[in-house]
Structure 1
Amino acid sequence: MTYCHSKYQHLKPQINAFVKDFESKGDAVTVGQRNVIKSFEVDGVKLNIKSFKKPNAFNSFIYKWIRLSKAKRSFNYASRLIDCDISTPFPIAYIEETSFFGLKNSYYISEHIDYDFEFRALIHNPKFPDRALLLKQFAEFTFKLHQNNINFLDHSPGNTLILKTDKGYKFYLIDLNRMRFENMTFDKRMHNFRRMWLSKTMIKVIAKKYAELYNKPYQEIHDVMLKHSMAFQHKINRKKLRRSGRKMQFGTK
């Protein structure tokens, strides 16, 4: 089953052809253990096709009969973001290949974005040009998400693309299939920053701007954001240490 946005109905035959030849054609954008993204071009439109990993038998049944597939969720969530004036690559289509027993393969198709860098560039380079300005604008971008009751569960450094334009910087969200649309309490808002791997200096800048927008004391914003960020980073670092310890034990046997 192929569902195309009304704006792109005319591309439906070509999109189906791209998916049919997905293994052998297209330019690789991302090749991961779970998902593969390739770019194609048709009628002057460059698009990305994301092929999701084939689900196991249990999830196959779930995605067919109980829960929306990752492809359909990505399409729906992108549409909702755009309705809220939050930038994401425009959703063109999604495809689900099913049998009676469940979902076999699924694909999400969106417009290709020629971005300049990911948010992670700000983490690895403290002297990144316009870093303070970008952090303030990122605070505004995330605040807008929260004001629209959007809890982006994969809010992480690689999932925010940044494009430099004549009018300044523009932020795009990607990898959208994990979201909740719920009332964003103060603690949920601060908790939502935890995966961004913010340094203490970055937190100071972001917290100051967020406090201005949220009309809440800076110190309270800073302290709770710092608490959640440090707890997450310590948790991940402990996991890395445990894994490296197991590898060392295995290597000595």
Structure 2
Amino acid sequence: MNLEIIIHPDYVSQHEAIIALLLGFDKNENFVTKGDRNVIKKAGLGQKVVNIKSFKKPNFFQSIVYAYVRKSKAERSFEYAKLLTEKGINTPAPIAYAINKKGGIAESYYISAHLSYDLDFRVLNHTPLYPERDIILRQFAAFTFKLHEAGIEFLDHSPGNTLIKKVSPEQYEFYLIDLNRMKFGEMSLEKRMHNFRRLWLSKKMINVMAPVYAKLAGVSETEIHMLMSKYSKEFQRKVNRKKLRRRK
């Protein structure tokens, strides 16, 4: 394995242990997720538990692009996690990324701190009577406002990519994962509301979240509600049409 590895300054002293984790990745059977595209495994690093994400091997063309034109998913995940942390947006702490190059990119890995959490956003989609659901939704709306105010457009702002941790009575923290697709810069109101579309929000969820975002943004609740509903419905119709075509 011809590894090129970049380690966060906080973990440089554990350089050899991090390399050992990567070299032993294939033999590690402690799976967190085992998908068709990416695999995440859990391991120990000193006193910490970490997640090692192995990205799907790119095809030949993608491999050349990632090696010489565009940053790999692992590198972007690492850099965006550092940026989010600097801006006060929660994400599992970035530790390192590594690329195995051989005439292009053969494999890439991203290592981050393992996070113990209580639920992800999907639970709120599927469980209307989840305890304190409205409280969580209001706080999530404020969290997303903070994200937008920081000029961060999280392109994969979807239910599976927000982990939720209860830290005290009626108080929650939100952590973003799967970070390799982001844009940065000032966001218009339209773009902000468009960024909610992948969350698969119901009418009730929008009714709860829109007033919070509107108050923080200093704009009309009616306008926020209208735009959030518009983009959510458009996205849901698009996905449902694709599903219907596949069935046919």
Shorter chain as normaliser: what TM range?
Answer: over 0.9
Question: How far off is 1:104 after superposition?
Answer: 1.2
Matched, 1:235 2:238: yes
- SS of 1:67's partner is coil
One-letter amino acid matched to 1:137: Q
Provide the C-alpha distance between the structure 1 equivalents of 2:22 and 2:29, rounded to a whole number of angstroms: 10
Matched, 1:88 2:91: yes
Matched, 1:211 2:214: yes
Query: Which residue does 1:249 correspond to in 2?
Result: none
- SS of 1:15's partner is helix
Structure 1 stretches of 4+ with a deviation exceeding 3 A read: none
8 Å contact kept, 1:146–1:189: yes
Query: Which residue does 1:152 correspond to in 2?
Result: 154
Which of 181, 185, 188 is the aligned partner of 1:185?
Answer: 188
1:72-97 CA-partner distances (Å, limit 9, x unpaired)? 00000000000110000000000011
Query: Which residue does 1:251 correspond to in 2?
Result: none
Query: Which residue does 1:55 correspond to in 2?
Result: 58
8 Å contact kept, 1:29–1:37: yes
Provide the C-alpha distance between the structure 2 equivalents of 1:11 and 1:240, rounded to a whole number of angstroms: 47
Matched, 1:124 2:126: yes
Query: Which residue does 1:67 correspond to in 2?
Result: 70
Matched, 1:171 2:170: no
Matched, 1:46 2:49: yes
Provide the C-alpha distance between the structure 1 equivalents of 2:45 and 2:82, rounded to a whole number of angstroms: 22
Provide the C-alpha distance between the structure 1 equivalents of 2:236 and 2:185, rounded to a whole number of angstroms: 25
TM-score by length of 2: 0.97
Matched, 1:108 2:133: no
Gaps of 5+ in 1: 246-253
Provide the C-alpha distance between the structure 2 equivalents of 1:8 and 1:36, rounded to a whole number of angstroms: 23
One-letter amino acid matched to 1:143: F
Question: How far off is 1:27 after superposition?
Answer: 1.0
Identity, in percent, stands at 52
Question: 1:26/1:15 Cα in 2 relative to 1: closer, same or farther (>3 Å)?
Answer: farther
Question: How far off is 1:155 after superposition?
Answer: 0.2
Query: Which residue does 1:25 correspond to in 2?
Result: 28
Question: How far off is 1:26 after superposition?
Answer: 4.5
Which of 10, 16, 24 is the aligned partner of 1:13?
Answer: 16
**Greater shift in the superposed pair: 199-208 or 14-23:** 14-23
One-letter amino acid matched to 2:142: E
Aligned length in residues: 244
- What is the root-mean-square deviation in Å for CA atoms of aligned residues? 0.9
TM-score by length of 1: 0.95
8 Å contact kept, 1:54–1:104: yes
- SS of 1:95's partner is strand
Question: How far off is 1:24 after superposition?
Answer: 1.3
Question: How far off is 1:166 after superposition?
Answer: 2.5
Provide the C-alpha distance between the structure 1 equivalents of 2:160 and 2:220, rounded to a whole number of angstroms: 30
Which of 93, 116, 135 is the aligned partner of 1:133?
Answer: 135
